[in-house]
Amino acid sequence: MSLVIQHDISLKPFNTFGMAVRARHFCHLTAAEQLPELLKLAEYQNGPVLWLGGGSNVLFTRDFDGLVVKLDNKGIRQLEADADHVIVEAAAGEIWHDFVCHSLQQGWYGLENLSLIPGTVGASPVQNIGAYGVEVKDAIHEVVCADLQRGGEIVVLSNADCRFGYRDSLFKHAEAGRWLVLAVRFRLARRASLHMDYGDIRQQLESMGVSQPTAQDVSRAIIHIRSTKLPNPAELGNAYSFFKNPVVSAGLAETLIARYPALPHYPAGPGQVKLAA
């Protein structure tokens, strides 16, 4: 399918703040096969270019005088399976929460704590999204990218290649702008290993009358917690919730906890402790 380039298009439907700004040029990228055509366009080569996913991490303050490319490629497929795990590939344009729900329906576990995070699958490795004690890096097997510095050459990056850290990855540093995420491959479990000790998950499950929770129950609890804390962007424009908790040395954490015994804290690797922002 050929690309359709539109001009003077409102971006209000494409950002969660609902800002009524306009793009000089706009197109939907619905398949990786369209990328070579896109890279040859004068609108692309003359720039600037904004790659847009779910629009939840951007606040438009003025019209965009360039090309906005909305990543809308779709598709979820199982690549491999054994008795314990499946390898599942999801296209970058898939809505993240929809993919989490789909995985649970299929009996693929490991993402339930990441329910109701806004945005698309393609954005998940960039930020190494995380919530309620789980980070997406622990489920990512590979990331399929187009190398924009090499004419859109398709490259498959391993988990190690992505150099994941706390809300961090390869995609945010020196090579930011080089890699366009086209799909993400996840290694998900066939048997759930529940993470319920972070935040208010156990209390919420108790209030729901759930004594023997499943992964679906944990997902529902987290959806409820997030929904009570944040307004629906369809009713009140917002960027949901994103922040980084401070990570400090174990020594400093001990000092702070001695002064403030109720201070929430969590292990963050050797010699480090994560505190609640």
The domain defined by 74-242 folds into 3.30.465
CA 172 to each of CA 158, 163, 164, 180: distance values in angstroms, whole numbers, following the listed order = 16, 10, 10, 12
- pTM value > 0.85: yes
Confidence of residue 241 (pLDDT cuts 50, 70, 90): confident
For residue 273, what pLDDT is reported? 92
pLDDT tens for each residue of 129-149:
999 989 999 999 999 999 999
Amino acid at the residue 84 = D
pLDDT tens for each residue of 57-80:
899 999 999 999 999 999 999 999
Query: Mean pLDDT highest for which of 54-58, 211-215, 264-268, 269-273?
Result: 211-215
pLDDT tens for each residue of 178-198:
999 999 999 999 999 999 988
Confidence of residue 119 (pLDDT cuts 50, 70, 90): very high
Helix (H) or strand (E) holding 28: strand 22-29
Angle, CA 35 vertex, CA 29 and CA 39 arms, to 5°: 110
Residue 53 in this model has a pLDDT that exceeds 80: yes
- Count Cβ neighbours within 10 Å for each residue of 236-262 and write b for 16 or more, e otherwise: eeebbeeeebeebeeeebeeeeeeeee
pLDDT tens for each residue of 120-129:
999 999 999 9
| Residue with token string 């001990």 | 254
| Residue with token string 């201070």 | 263
Confidence of residue 240 (pLDDT cuts 50, 70, 90): confident
For residue 92, what pLDDT is reported? 98
Q: What is the DSSP letter of 268?
A: -
Q: What are the beta bridge partners of residue 186?
A: 88, 140
Q: Which of 203, 80, 73, 200 is nearest to 145 (CA)?
A: 73
The domain defined by 6-71 folds into 3.30.43
Per-domain residue ranges of the chain = 6-71, 74-242, 245-277
pLDDT tens for each residue of 3-27:
999 999 999 999 999 999 999 999 9
For residue 173, what pLDDT is reported? 86
